[in-house]
Amino acid sequence: MSSMKCISICVEDYDSFFAQGMFSLIEEFFLLQGMRVYPKKLLPGHTLPDVIFSSSLSHIPWCRLLAARCQSVCPVLFLIENGPVRRAYNPSELCSQSYVRRNDSISVIIKRFKHVWFDRRKRLGQNSTVCQTCHKNRLTSREIEVLRLLYKQVTVSQMAQVMGVSPKTVYCFKINAMHKLGLKNRRHLYDWLNNEMSREIFKIDSLH
């Protein structure tokens, strides 16, 4: 007897009843596809779930972040929205991201989820788990190092000395990293650096 493929799901929301209902809805979808589902939390130091529903991650381009850290799998991320969708970046740029509103009907949620899930499989193909967008936006080791040093409040001149490059080159690394992460300005950059999950993705905490 062949074993069923397992899918991990995280539903992160302040409304426990909504979260439980969303999990059951997606669980039923995967069971009909012949897959087993189990819950998995977003925890520092752990791999991410295959599917994430969250009401608190709307400013973080997860797909790009995973690519930057050379993760092998792009998760499916659904943002739980209370009202009109307002975002600093275009979700169509990311491989497997969409949204649900709290007042959406079950049929609308399932239709949207099916579209993203099957479109993801089509984009990734049979032998790959990282989309072209993620691959294109993969950060270099130098860009990651600049982000780490920025978090530690190291000045550009100090970074240049530590990295053995010119201050202008350090600035270029920072701008390239911001572009790949979809961050438009310094405020977005420092908001991102101060996010716990962002720091975990780049293992910045280990440098303290």
Domain ranges of the chain: 6-128, 139-202
pLDDT for the residue numbered 79 = 77
Angle between helix 167-181 and helix 186-193 axes, rounded to 10 deg? 80
pLDDT over 70, % of the chain: 64
- The reply to whether 6-128 and 139-202 are identical in fold is no
pLDDT for the residue numbered 1 = 42
Tokens matching residue 184 = 């438009």
Using a 10 angstrom Cβ sphere, with 0-12 exposed, 13-18 middle and 19 or more buried, the burial of residue 182 is buried
Helix then strand then coil, in percent of the chain rounded to 5, is 50, 15, 35
**Domain covering 139-202, topology:** Arc Repressor Mutant, subunit A (1.10.10)
Instruction: Report the chain's mean pLDDT, rounded to a whole number.
Output: 76
Tell me: the pLDDT tens digits for 122-151? Answer: 655 544 455 555 556 677 889 889 988 998
Tell me: the pLDDT tens digits for 17-64? Answer: 999 999 999 999 999 989 999 998 876 556 778 888 888 665 555 555
Tokens matching residue 81 = 């929205």
For domain 6-128, give the CATH number: 3.40.50.10850
Q: Is the whole-model pTM more than 0.85?
A: no
